[in-house]
Structure 1
């Protein structure tokens, strides 16, 4: 994606910085002062997905947002490092190099798995808040076919270019977003249309899907002592509430909360509700989004 083209309209562009922490050139947004909160988006998204939630946090916290490797404006430095463990390792190294020790990591969807793995690797104490956590493996035949198909597509010449042309069609993006159960504003949908037209973004997302392996992390959940709060939306058509409920039951220091009506992109469609939900976990008090 072209940063110079997007900079005039990208959310919080004035807080963006680029740092080379091998192997990637990271796009990071650094806003506010106070204890550090790290926000990790899900697969196929970017920092833009937090734009409505951030104003509820920055009056008392220093908010760090990052684009995952190859997605958005982070330049992928090693194609083979798009899986869960590698991304968590590289992000941990980046945080260490920047002298950042988050007190809280908030993840969305696949970002929750990265947050939990990062908490395992980090040399600082933190809690994890997960929004519609993708913490379950594919079941049955899909568990075998999906990774194989993703790998096959990711390794095909010109596959990301072709898919970006297909996925970038307005109707395709609308159909994908409808499948999340969330209702976004037209302005928010435009960000996803731009992302889906990006060959590099689609390619990195495919690599993430192809290299994703949750099994080791899922096996360790009963031993993971990180304080964890999992929030799930009842109208999430992408990741069922039961996924977060099961994960919370396995984690020894976790709780679970269900939210009515909202879909998979809950933090985008109703940031105020999400902010109110996580406020007790952060001790935000009367923070407002103005």
Structure 2
């Protein structure tokens, strides 16, 4: 089993679940309608922790994506967009979870939209700096090939870990995305990038990422979708969310000024002020409570 260490953030809410082909690490807190929260590439469920106190009245279900965080991938061939969505849907069915809505950050936003084509009861999606844009120009040709080459090398993950796990390197990486997060957040990312399996899983996801088929189907996704962008995001430009919202039949767009790619960690209260009214407008009323567990 690959349970997180006792000092991992919110470890009391952690569950290790075997559901083929993966051994999942999932954090669950709160009560009410199910919300499924999906992190972006290279992160883990911990990235939603700052948001939790601002989403009372829901049961928040936060898995680590396959191969990342503390979810152990059952092989490296099911790390692409379609495969991840299929396996998350199977996990939901296995556990009896019925997400009323899905919140996805970055690549998790794309997985969330793909899941709406598989899970019939999802009523809405919130994307936070959702990675819905193809790589442009030379990068569109080079990036997938480079990621596949890196993922195929048995030495690369260890080298990336050695080069990236220093605190200053993690701080620079976060800053390069236009964000400033807490010292605890930096520590969590530092711990993640020091794990070889996490780097291997992230590289595998990058290598297998195929977004174009989903982008072509955006006009067919009929449920309400709120795409939130941060004005200072240097990883996913706000224009990506703006243009995607215009393509989605029931898409809407909101922008938060002054923050970067990790806006849900930097400004969770501001993000929640956009998320909660949107969910309630779709009929997902929160339960009466004083706050979510955390």
Deviation, 1:55, is: 1.4
Deviation, 1:222, is: 1.1
The equivalent residue for 2:58 is 61
TM-score normalised to the size of structure 1? 0.95
Deviation, 1:111, is: 0.2
Query: Per the alignment, do residues 237 and 98 of structure 1 end up closer, same or farther by CA in structure 2, a change over 3 Å counting?
Result: same
| Number of residue pairs matched by the alignment | 287
Native 8 Å contact 1:56 1:288 kept in 2: no
3-state SS of paired residue (1:120): coil
3-state SS of paired residue (2:23): strand
CA distance in 2, matches of 1:105, 1:88: 12
Q: Which moved more, 1:12-21 or 1:196-205?
A: 12-21
The equivalent residue for 2:109 is 112
Deviation, 1:124, is: 1.6
Native 8 Å contact 1:116 1:128 kept in 2: yes
The equivalent residue for 1:18 is 16
Instruction: Give per-residue Cα distances to partners, 1:44-101, cap 9 Å, x unaligned.
Output: 00011011111122x3111111000010110110201000000000000000111111
The equivalent residue for 1:279 is 276
Instruction: Give per-residue Cα distances to partners, 1:247-267, cap 9 Å, x unaligned.
Output: 101111110011110110001
Q: Which runs of 5+ in 2 are unaligned?
A: none
Deviation, 1:289, is: 6.2
Native 8 Å contact 1:32 1:61 kept in 2: yes
Native 8 Å contact 1:55 1:288 kept in 2: no
Native 8 Å contact 2:24 2:72 kept in 1: yes
CA distance in 1, matches of 2:267, 2:255: 14
Alignment of 1:135-174 (within 5 A): 135-174=132-171
The equivalent residue for 2:254 is 257
Q: Which runs of 5+ in 1 are unaligned?
A: none
Query: Per the alignment, do residues 262 and 289 of structure 1 end up closer, same or farther by CA in structure 2, a change over 3 Å counting?
Result: farther
Native 8 Å contact 1:56 1:287 kept in 2: no
- Are 1:48 and 2:46 counterparts? yes
Deviation, 1:287, is: 8.0
Native 8 Å contact 1:244 1:256 kept in 2: yes
Task: Find 2:212's aligned residue among 194, 215, 220.
Answer: 215
Query: Per the alignment, do residues 264 and 50 of structure 1 end up closer, same or farther by CA in structure 2, a change over 3 Å counting?
Result: same
The two structures, once aligned, show a CA RMSD in angstroms of: 1.7
Task: Find 1:80's aligned residue among 77, 80, 91.
Answer: 77
Task: Find 1:100's aligned residue among 97, 113, 117.
Answer: 97
Deviation, 1:187, is: 1.6
The equivalent residue for 1:34 is 32
The equivalent residue for 1:248 is 245
3-state SS of paired residue (1:121): coil
Native 8 Å contact 1:46 1:68 kept in 2: yes
